């Protein structure tokens, strides 16, 4: 017994030592946009979209592994590499796209903060500016690094979804079959369906994560030699993200979809998914989890965007520099937060819709970031013996092609459908798909 305990302990320590960039990235990945997109998928389509989880997980592992490997082998960030290999003009357009996409995500994080605190009846006109100021200060004053562990620990909140999912007595058999069966072909003609699928892909394999993960690997000083251990960190993180995602969808399907609450209009709706676990207090639990996730990601996204852009375009960057030494870096960081949080002050902004939309934009942009990563990871001069294996290339290129096709189909469906685009498309009952 004793020796068993000891070896178990040793194994746990081994895992903990490896837990690093991959696991943190995975946790930041389950942000406000993620929670709302998964919730919406479960509420609107029940178990129907669970089939996406396995392919998304495989693609996520492949993509994240490529990033971590790029970082470990070259010791450079993704934007540095794009600049060095593809020149100034291409880098410029990639960075403009990245700023726009990430801006959407930042708005989604502040939307998460606003809607989580709305559950307590606190006005967004007060909490959003206060939180924006808090985020700005925490990062610039360097306190963020010391409180990262608190965020990370609080992420254990996601376990609530697993418990709630179990307590809701879902139809396990149906959920399981929905996860492993192939999707129904009719989905391709439904705008709302494709919108949600692209959103699911975009929120799970978000473009900003690739920049962030690679930067973290470089920052941690992981080299090609130590890389083997780090690979497990990445895989573990990816699996964790998607297990949580699966349970969020199942919990929402078993509660919201089952009671015909197909549309999540506010955080209060989404909180209902936790009812089987927390009953009347579900909203408290949800508010806590959503706030933590949103604030965590809001602290990470603007700064990592500022780093990526400044490194790619050759501006001075770094929190160890003074404001006048790295003006572009600090201005970009500040403007992203101010304008990101500022968008929330627009009256009657549909918070949930904006969050999900930002994830769809992630999905649309993803293939282009992936193409650059694929070209880089297959460059023998750059990667030496660490170039992609054929399997990796097949999976990654398939992801690129599938996501592009889905995006095209989505825009095509939207032009075909007569209904007004936007928020209302999410409210449609997908009866035809679930029969």
Judged by the rule CB under 8 A, the positions of this chain that interact with another protein are: 74-76, 80, 83-84, 87-89, 91-92, 218, 221, 223, 313-314, 316
- Find, among 430, 427, 121, 103, the residue nearest to 267 by Cα: 121
Decide whether 121 or 221 has the Cβ nearer to another protein: 221
Decide whether 106 or 222 has the Cβ nearer to another protein: 222
Could you identify the residue written with the tokens 């990563």?
A: 373
Q: How far is the CB of 221 from another protein (least distance, A)?
A: 6
CA distances from 256 to 78, 272, 289, 422 (A): 40, 7, 19, 21
**1-40 residues labelled b (16+ CB within 10 A) or e (exposed):** eeeeeeeeeeeeeeeeebebbbbbbbbbbbbbbbbbbbbb
Q: How far is the CB of 20 from another protein (least distance, A)?
A: 14
Q: How far is the CB of 223 from another protein (least distance, A)?
A: 6
Decide whether 75 or 342 has the Cβ nearer to another protein: 75
Q: How far is the CB of 308 from another protein (least distance, A)?
A: 14
φ, ψ for residue 315 (rounded to 5)? -90, 155
Q: How far is the CB of 388 from another protein (least distance, A)?
A: 20
Q: How far is the CB of 224 from another protein (least distance, A)?
A: 9
Q: How far is the CB of 256 from another protein (least distance, A)?
A: 48
Decide whether 93 or 120 has the Cβ nearer to another protein: 93
Decide whether 137 or 318 has the Cβ nearer to another protein: 318
Decide whether 214 or 399 has the Cβ nearer to another protein: 214
Decide whether 76 or 124 has the Cβ nearer to another protein: 76
Decide whether 21 or 34 has the Cβ nearer to another protein: 21
Decide whether 184 or 316 has the Cβ nearer to another protein: 316
Decide whether 62 or 81 has the Cβ nearer to another protein: 81
Q: How far is the CB of 311 from another protein (least distance, A)?
A: 8
Q: How far is the CB of 61 from another protein (least distance, A)?
A: 25
Distance between CA atoms of 19 and 235, rounded to whole angstroms? 11
Decide whether 217 or 366 has the Cβ nearer to another protein: 217
Q: How far is the CB of 139 from another protein (least distance, A)?
A: 20
Q: How far is the CB of 97 from another protein (least distance, A)?
A: 15
Half-sphere exposure of 263 (CA within 13 A, CB side): 11
């Amino acid at each position: 017994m004793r020796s068993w305990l000891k070896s178990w302990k040793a194994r746990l320590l081994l895992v903990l030592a490896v837990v690093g960039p991959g696991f943190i990235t995975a946790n930041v990945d389950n942000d406000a946009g993620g929670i709302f997109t998964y919730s919406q998928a479960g509420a609107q389509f029940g178990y129907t979209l669970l089939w996406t989880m396995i392919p998304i997980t495989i693609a996520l592992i492949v993509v994240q592994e490529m990033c971590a490997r790029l970082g470990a082998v070259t010791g450079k960030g993704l934007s540095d590499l794009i600049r060095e290999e593809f020149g100034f003009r291409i880098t410029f357009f990639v960075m403009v796209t990245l700023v726009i996409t990430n801006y959407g995500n930042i708005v989604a994080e502040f939307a998460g903060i606003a809607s989580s605190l709305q559950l307590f009846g606190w006005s967004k006109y007060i909490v959003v500016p206060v939180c924006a100021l808090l985020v700005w200060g925490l990062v610039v004053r360097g306190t963020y690094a010391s409180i990262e562990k608190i965020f990370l620990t609080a992420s254990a909140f996601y376990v609530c979804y697993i418990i709630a999912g179990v307590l809701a007595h879902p139809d396990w058999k149906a959920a399981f079959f929905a996860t492993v069966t192939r999707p129904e072909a009719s989905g391709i003609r439904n705008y709302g369906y494709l919108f949600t699928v692209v959103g699911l892909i975009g929120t799970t394999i978000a473009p900003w994560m690739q920049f962030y993960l690679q930067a973290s690997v470089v920052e941690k000083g992981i080299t090609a030699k130590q890389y083997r251990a780090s690979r497990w960190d990445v895989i573990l993180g990816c699996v964790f993200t998607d297990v949580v995602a699966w349970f969020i969808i199942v919990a929402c399907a078993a509660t919201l979809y089952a009671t015909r609450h197909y549309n999540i209009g506010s955080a209060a709706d989404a909180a209902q998914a936790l009812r089987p676990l927390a009953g009347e207090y579900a909203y408290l639990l949800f508010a806590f989890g959503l706030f933590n996730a949103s604030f965590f990601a809001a602290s990470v996204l603007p700064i990592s965007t500022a780093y990526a852009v400044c490194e790619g375009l050759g501006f001075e960057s770094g929190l160890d520099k003074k404001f006048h030494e790295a003006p572009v870096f600090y201005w970009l960081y500040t403007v992203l937060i101010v304008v990101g949080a500022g968008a929330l002050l627009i009256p009657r902004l549909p918070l949930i819709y904006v969050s999900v939309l930002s994830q769809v934009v992630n999905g649309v942009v993803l293939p282009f970031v992936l193409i650059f990563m694929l070209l880089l990871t297959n460059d023998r001069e750059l990667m030496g013996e660490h170039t992609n294996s054929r399997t990796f290339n097949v999976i990654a290129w398939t992801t690129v092609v599938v996501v592009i096709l889905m995006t095209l189909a989505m825009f095509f469906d939207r032009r075909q459908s007569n209904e007004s685009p936007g928020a209302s498309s999410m409210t449609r009952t997908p009866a035809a798909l679930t029969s």
